[in-house]
Structure 1
Amino acid sequence: MHTATARYAGHLRTEATHTASGNTILTDAPVDNHGRGEAFSPTDLVSAALGSCMMTIMGIVAERLALDLTGVTYNVVKHMAADPRRIRQIDVQFQLPAKLSAKERTVLENAARTCPVALSLNPEIRQEVQFEYAG
C-alpha cells in the first residue's frame, strides 16, 4: 500500500494525502522561490518532520519511563544554501520541564538525536539541537 498519494494543484502547490488516514498536506513554493508561501514548503516539511520525529521518539521513551511530556514544545529553524538550493542546517530547540533528572534528560536527548528522520537526513545537513529545561 502507498504511504501517500499526491497531485500537483498548479501555481507551485501540491496536495498530498496520507493513504491510511485521508489527512492532507498542502505545500507551496516559498516566496523567495517564485511561490505564494501560503503553506509549508517541501523543505519546511523536512525541517518540521525532524522536530516531530524527535518529539515522537522522546514520547515513546517517556511513556516507557512513566514520564509525562504533555505540553513539551519545540521550535524549528531551517537554513537554506543557495547553490545548489538545499537545506544547509536545521535548528531544533526543545522546551522541557526542569523537574526531569539528569539521567532522564540524557536518555531523552539521546532518543531525540537518534530518531529515524535524524538518521535519514544527509550528513551534510547540520542538525543543531538544543534542550532547555525550565518551569
Structure 2
Amino acid sequence: MPTVQTVYLGDLRTQATHLQSGTTIITDAPTDNNGKGEAFSPTDLVAGALGSCMMTIMGIVARRDEIDLTGSQMEITKIMSAEPPRKIAKIEVKLSMVTATEISDTDKAKLERAAYTCPVALSLHPDIEQAVTFEWNVAVER
C-alpha cells in the first residue's frame, strides 16, 4: 500500500497526502530555483526529516530510559551545492537538549548515538555532510 500520494498543483507547487492520517504538506520551489518559496521546498523537507528523525529516535530511547526531553529544540540549516548539479551539500543540525533532571554523560552519549543512527541519517547519501551539534540542559522555558 502506498505511503504518500502527491499531486502536482501547477506553478511549481505540490500537495503530498500521508494516506494513513490524511495529513497534507504543500511544497513550493524555493525562490533561488524559480519558485515562490511560500512553503517548504522538497529539499527543506529532507533537512527537516533528518532533524525530526533524530529527535524521534532520541525520544524513543529517552522514554525507554525514563528521561524527559520535553522542550528540547533544534535548528536545521540546509546548504545547497554551489556547483551543478543542484543538490543538498550539507545539513547542519543544532540540538538544544533540555532534560527534567541532570543526566549522566553515559545517557547523553547513548542519546547522541541514537540521533546519529536514525533511519534518515543512515539513508542520506554519504556525500551530504551531516554537521550535528548538541547542547545539553539549555535553559528553555517549559
Aligned to 1:62: 62
Instruction: Trace 1:54-133 onto structure 2 (pairs within 5 A).
Output: 54-81=54-81, 82-97=83-98, 99-133=102-136
Size of the aligned set, in residue pairs, is 135
Distance 1:89 1:3 in 2: 27
Between 65-74 and 89-98, report the one with greater CA deviation: 89-98
Aligned to 1:20: 20
**Ranges of 4+ aligned residues in structure 1 off by more than 6 Å:** none
CA deviations on 1:14-66 (whole Å, 9 max, x unpaired) are 00000000000000000010000000000000000000000000000000100
Q: Which amino acid aligns with 1:2?
A: P
Distance 1:31 1:58 in 2: 33
- Cα distance, 1:100 vs. partner? 2.4
Q: Quick check: which one's strand share is greater?
A: 1
Q: Secondary structure at the match of 1:85?
A: coil
Asked whether the 8 Å contact 2:71–2:98 carries over to 1, the reply is no
Any unmatched runs of 5+ in structure 2?
Answer: none
Question: With structure 1 as the length reference, what TM-score do the two structures score?
Answer: 0.97
Identity of matched residues, %: 56
Distance 1:96 1:104 in 2: 12
Q: Secondary structure at the match of 1:88?
A: strand
Asked whether the 8 Å contact 2:50–2:120 carries over to 1, the reply is yes
Distance 1:97 1:30 in 2: 32
Q: Which amino acid aligns with 1:119?
A: L
Question: With structure 2 as the length reference, what TM-score do the two structures score?
Answer: 0.93
- Cα distance, 1:101 vs. partner? 1.5
- Cα distance, 1:131 vs. partner? 0.2
